[in-house]
């Protein structure tokens, strides 16, 4: 019987134990509920919770927050918890994305970019450094609610309260992935519910009750509007503080009352969690979006406040309670609000690696280890971080007053040390500060110079981090910049065209593709210009690329604040294109910015009613005198034909539009293939400067914003219509370039004027390529030899003299007209003799010899032949008036071609006020004849060796002198071209021989040390060659 009773009792006990164990297992297996309370503008010392046990001033000496004290007693305080940013919206974006707001290219979006605007406004401009234009928050990424859903689809997510990411208004919490989203609109009366804190608590509690009743795990972010200015509080609570003794740091009764109402409302949420019995399975995170603004609440002992990357702007209350968190614990592990993303994802069950662009690091291991890093973990791992450091970057102007302003600045916190930098203004230097926060929490003792090694270490870390996340920097609008875009180097993102010019600001460097059918396509090209990109973006008439704006000057007087500097009123600009058109039958926008009230544009159309859309119009429109208060809308237009000596439908042409806003020399200029084709002088004086750089977006290939730039006011308006054609390269300058600048830029993509010429003697020279060889434009006492292009004939070509062997041409009758067949690879040279003398009675003579590397195929000397082949064979911008051209054999001299067809001897004469021109075509040599002497030999190998990895001029990378395969780089593949084309007709040399494979590898290996500027290791080089 006893045995039976014992068995029965034992069974009951075991059954109870099993129920408890099962219940425990089920509870531990239940997904935790997660709540984030994000308050607004609450400083580190803005509560009655002492955030650091060793720092008495880390709690308020006046404000009372008993419910937050309750949370801290039950959970963990982070003494070194930071907001991601010193200002509101950017911190919120980092929480939702797990990325630093600078990686998102976001500044203080709602204030800098009001709804309906597409350029910054307000208090951020007209200072020494102009802030980057904020990008809007992208709602389509793997946001916090979405990664929670990936971890466990059963989660229900909600965001209640202040959102502050709603530009445009369609970017709601639901658009970002939340199941529910609601803000406080309108706010209740202050005397009833200041900042709506009680209403928000009620909304949160209703959501929590619904989830618990439906047995659903939840994530809830409650974003308070308190304690943001203006101060909102109730008289009853103000009366309480009015009779309390003020603190040494805090003494504002109104602010204290607002803080207490926030705390009381937060307590209602704690009560609901307790009432529903879910405390043991609910994580609660409490923190702030940034430090307190000094005008309302001091952050002592921390330095400065909101909008500053000093400690007072960033260090905030950070408290967490929940399962397995030791009650009353304190952690000194540095964390930021960006880390909430990874931490919450892990707590929700997310076990996969985070995306590579996510910076957030999970501090869940610290929560589960009494505030300490687990054994074997030296720091919280984060992408883009080398160790446990945390970074801050604020490129905006903020808190601007007559006696104080924050400056664009950055900081890195690493261990006990913090490096802070204020970026250079007004032509000065960057200002660095190093602090030991353990001993100097108030950041008052600068150790930068006394600790050079630590300073250099943190400086390098900060610079590497900012580069890694592509952080945008504020910029000096006065600084001259030239921004390059090459289609063969479009950048790493599939949605835009990124400049190769590093301005440390993606917004200025990037053209964003239009979406869907508006997106241009990239394709391979074969331009005859060896230094031109081998790729181009094709626009089909409906395509467009967009940029936020084009800015070249201040938009108003400098603000009244310390060291504001002087304004930049010079609105000069230059736009440079390499473009090819589908036809001359349709209008086309090359680039524009602005609208009918101001802007700039370069467009193509029919200005002379000849039926051809071959006229380039450069339009500038703005309020002239806006800087002096006059504000009269005036337009400036220049128009020029672009196809007089080039065919823009058959090849790429170089187009440059210049606006010089010098008050003493204001003008517009248009250049085609290096040559000035028109100049229009503007009205002089400072009051005539047009403020064309407006708030409107810029467009490439089409209209980018709300209207076509410059399409208003009086004068010749721009042509409308999308571009049909290709853009291979683009450059924008915020200053006016000179004619010599244009000439250098144009010539930089062409071969040398003596390309593949072995030698010359007598009265002959090969000058720097002139932009014009019209009569009087390029005078010389010698015959000028100018290489025009290397190309392939797409059809047969008629020449005035076909050369099949040695021949002497002393008169026209000795020349045999013939044709060079289609497909012939050729070099074309123009020879021009335009003597200095201007006396029509004097004759100038030129006698000499030219030895070409290739064989002479034919000669063009008739005026009509030269004119008709300029677009096919030429490359000079201006060949002059038709009547001045040509060579009359006999009266003007003779030409003798050697039997091997390599040498041309000439004996020429011309009147002093005239010129003669003729064109010679030769076969094109092998691509590996780098020095153009007609032979592929050890001289070319030497050029290849010297070019590999160097920074010489010639192409976008600067190393194309030894480029044989036409990819605009000198690399191992070009060596193979040289090896295969090594000729037996070169001058004798004991060193000229084809290397054996083993010696080839040794030779290539030795070159690694030569090209120190080239990012290529031995393995990469072998991959190129082998």
42-108+142-385: which CATH topology? Alkaline Phosphatase, subunit A (3.40.720)
Paired tokens of 856: 């002479």
Paired tokens of 310: 């000093």
For residue 816, the SS3 value is: coil
Domain ranges of the chain: 42-108+142-385, 482-559+566-747, 753-923, 938-981
Give the strands of the sheet with 409-414, arranged side by side.
390-394, 409-414, 417-422, 431-436
Place of tokens 């990936």: 150
* Alpha carbon 805 to chain centroid, angstroms: 57
Ranges assigned E (strand) in 810-936: 818-820, 825-833, 843-852, 856-860, 893-897, 903-911, 916-923
Q: What percent of the chain has pLDDT over 90?
A: 78
**What does the alpha-carbon distance between residue 754 and residue 329 come to, in Å, rounded to a whole number?**
79
- What pLDDT was estimated at residue 470? 96
Place of tokens 């390499």: 578
CB atoms within 10 A of CB 321: 23
Dump the DSSP string for 653-718. EEEEEEEEEETTEEEEEEEETTEEEEEEE---SGGG-EE---SSPEEESS--SSS-TT-SSSSPPP
H helix or E strand, kind and range, residue 870:
helix 863-873
Per-residue model confidence as pLDDT tens digits over 66-100: 999 999 999 999 999 999 999 999 999 999 999 99
pTM summary value: 0.87
- What pLDDT was estimated at residue 389? 97
| 401-404, Cβ contacts within 8 angstroms, sequence gap of 24 or more | 401/561, 402/560, 402/561, 403/561, 403/562, 404/561, 404/562
In terms of Cα–Cα distance, which of 457, 442, 71, 453 is closest to 266? 71
Q: Are 896 and 837 in contact (CB under 8 A)?
A: no
User: What DSSP state is assigned to residue 611?
Assistant: S
**What does the alpha-carbon distance between residue 868 and residue 876 come to, in Å, rounded to a whole number?**
14
- What angle, 0 to 180 degrees and rounded to 10, lies between the N-to-C axes of helices 339-347 and 144-151? 20
- Residues of the chain falling short of pLDDT 70: 1-28, 109-123, 626-629, 932-934, 949-960, 965-968, 977, 980-981, 983-1026
- What pLDDT was estimated at residue 114? 57
**What does the alpha-carbon distance between residue 92 and residue 627 come to, in Å, rounded to a whole number?**
38
- What pLDDT was estimated at residue 925? 86
- What pLDDT was estimated at residue 1023? 42
**What does the alpha-carbon distance between residue 527 and residue 927 come to, in Å, rounded to a whole number?**
15
| Residues 6+ positions from 25 with CB-CB distance below 8 Å | none
Place of tokens 């990424």: 141
For residue 946, the SS3 value is: helix
- What angle, 0 to 180 degrees and rounded to 10, lies between the N-to-C axes of helices 88-97 and 339-347? 40
Q: Are 606 and 588 in contact (CB under 8 A)?
A: no
- What pLDDT was estimated at residue 113? 60
Q: 482-559+566-747 architecture in CATH?
A: Sandwich (2.60)
* Alpha carbon 724 to chain centroid, angstroms: 26
């Amino acid at each position: 019987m006893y045995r039976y009773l014992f068995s029965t009792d034992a069974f009951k006990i075991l059954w109870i134990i099993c129920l408890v164990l099962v219940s425990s297992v089920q509870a531990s297996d239940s997904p935790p509920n997660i709540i984030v309370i994000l308050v607004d503008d609450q400083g580190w010392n803005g509560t009655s919770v002492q955030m650091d046990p060793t720092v008495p001033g880390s709690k308020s000496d006046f404000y009372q927050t008993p419910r937050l004290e309750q949370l801290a007693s039950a959970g963990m305080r982070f003494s070194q918890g930071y907001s991601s940013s010193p200002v509101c919206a950017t911190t919120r974006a980092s929480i939702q994305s797990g990325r630093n707001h600078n990686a998102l290219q976001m500044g203080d979006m709602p204030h800098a970019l009001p709804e309906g605007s597409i350029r910054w406004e307000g208090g951020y401009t007209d200072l020494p450094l102009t802030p980057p234009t904020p990008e809007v928050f992208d709602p389509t990424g793997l946001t916090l609610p979405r990664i929670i859903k990936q971890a466990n689809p059963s989660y229900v997510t909600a965001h209640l309260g202040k959102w502050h990411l709603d530009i445009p208004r369609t970017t709601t919490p639901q658009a970002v992935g939340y199941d529910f989203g609601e803000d406080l609109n309108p706010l209740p009366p202050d005397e009833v519910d200041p900042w709506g804190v009680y209403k928000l608590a009620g909304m949160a509690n209703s959501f929590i009750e619904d989830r618990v009743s439906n047995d659903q795990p939840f994530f809830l972010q409650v974003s308070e509007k308190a304690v943001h200015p203006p101060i909102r509080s109730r008289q009853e609570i103000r009366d309480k503080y009015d009779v309390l003794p003020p603190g040494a740091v805090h003494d504002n009764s109104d602010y204290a009352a607002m803080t207490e109402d926030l705390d009381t409302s937060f307590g209602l949420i704690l009560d609901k969690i307790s009432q529903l019995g879910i405390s043991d399975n609910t994580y609660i995170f409490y923190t702030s979006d940034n430090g307190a603004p000094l005008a309302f609440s001091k952050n002592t002992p921390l330095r400065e406040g909101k909008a500053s990357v000093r400690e007072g702007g960033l260090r905030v209350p950070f408290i967490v309670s929940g399962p397995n968190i030791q009650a009353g614990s304190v952690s000194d592990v540095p964390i930021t609000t960006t880390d909430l993303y990874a931490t919450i994802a892990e707590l929700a069950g997310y076990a996969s690696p985070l995306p590579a662009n996510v910076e957030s690091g999970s501090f869940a291991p610290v929560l589960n280890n009494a505030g300490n890093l687990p054994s074997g973990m030296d720091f919280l791992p984060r992408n883009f971080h080398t160790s446990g450091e945390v970074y801050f970057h604020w490129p905006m102007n903020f808190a601007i007053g007559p006696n104080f302003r924050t400056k664009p600045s950055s900081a890195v916190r690493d261990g006990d040390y913090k490096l802070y930098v204020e970026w250079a203004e007004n032509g000065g230097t960057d200002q660095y500060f190093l602090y030991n926060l353990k001993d100097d929490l108030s950041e008052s003792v600068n150790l930068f110079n006394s600790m050079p090694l630590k300073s250099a270490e943190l400086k390098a870390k900060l610079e590497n981090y900012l580069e890694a996340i592509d952080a945008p920097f504020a910029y000096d609008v006065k600084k001259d910049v030239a921004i390059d875009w090459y289609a063969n180097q479009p950048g790493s993102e599939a949605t835009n065209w990124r400049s190769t010019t590093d301005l440390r600001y993606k917004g200025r460097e990037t053209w964003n593709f239009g979406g869907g059918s508006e997106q241009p396509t990239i394709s391979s090209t074969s331009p005859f210009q060896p230094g031109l990109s081998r790729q181009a973006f094709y626009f089909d008439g409906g395509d467009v690329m967009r940029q936020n704006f084009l800015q070249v000057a201040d938009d108003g007087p400098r603000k009244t604040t310390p060291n504001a500097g002087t304004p930049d009123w010079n609105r000069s600009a230059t736009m440079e294109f390499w473009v090819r058109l589908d036809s001359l039958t349709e209008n086309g926008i090359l680039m524009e910015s602005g609208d009918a009230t101001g802007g700039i544009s370069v467009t193509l159309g029919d200005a002379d009613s000849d039926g051809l859309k071959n006229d380039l119009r450069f339009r500038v429109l703005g309020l002239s005198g806006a800087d002096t208060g006059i504000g009269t809308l005036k337009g400036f237009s220049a128009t020029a034909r672009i196809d007089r000596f080039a065919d823009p439908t058959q090849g790429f042409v170089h187009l440059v539009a210049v606006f010089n806003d010098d008050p003493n020399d204001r003008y517009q200029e248009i250049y085609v293939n290096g040559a000035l084709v028109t100049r229009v002088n503007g009205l002089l004086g400072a009051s005539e400067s047009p403020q064309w750089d407006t708030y409107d977006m810029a467009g490439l290939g089409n209209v980018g914003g709300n209207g076509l730039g410059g399409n208003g006011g009086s004068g010749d308006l721009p042509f409308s219509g999308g571009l049909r054609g290709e853009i291979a390269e683009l450059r924008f300058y915020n200053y006016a370039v000179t004619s010599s600048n244009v000439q250098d830029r144009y010539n930089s993509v062409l071969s040398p004027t003596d390309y593949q010429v072995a030698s010359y003697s007598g009265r002959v020279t090969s000058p720097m390529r002139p932009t014009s060889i019209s009569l009087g434009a390029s005078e010389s006492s010698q015959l000028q030899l100018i290489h025009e292009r290397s190309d392939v004939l797409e059809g047969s070509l008629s020449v005035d003299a076909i050369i099949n062997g040695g021949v002497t041409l002393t008169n026209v009758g000795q020349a045999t007209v013939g044709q060079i067949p289609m497909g012939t690879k050729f070099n074309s040279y123009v020879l021009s003799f335009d003597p200095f003398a201007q006396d029509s009675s004097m004759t100038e003579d030129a006698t000499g010899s030219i030895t070409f590397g290739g064989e002479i195929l034919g000669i063009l000397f008739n005026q009509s032949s030269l004119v008709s082949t300029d677009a096919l064979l030429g490359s000079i911008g201006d060949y002059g008036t038709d009547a001045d051209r040509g060579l009359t054999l006999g009266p003007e001299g003779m030409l003798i071609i050697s039997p091997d067809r390599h040498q041309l001897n000439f004996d020429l004469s011309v009147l002093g006020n005239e010129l003669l021109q003729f064109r010679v075509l030769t076969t094109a040599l092998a691509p590996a004849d780098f020095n153009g002497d007609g032979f592929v030999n050890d001289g070319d190998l030497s050029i290849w060796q010297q070019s590999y990895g160097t920074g010489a001029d010639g192409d976008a990378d600067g190393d194309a002198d030894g480029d044989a395969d036409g990819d605009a780089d000198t690399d191992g593949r070009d060596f193979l071209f040289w090896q295969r084309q090594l000729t037996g007709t070169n001058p004798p040399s004991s060193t000229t021989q084809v290397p054996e494979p083993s010696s080839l590898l040794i030779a290539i290996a030795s070159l690694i040390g030569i090209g120190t500027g080239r990012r290529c290791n031995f393995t990469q080089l072998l991959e190129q060659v082998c």
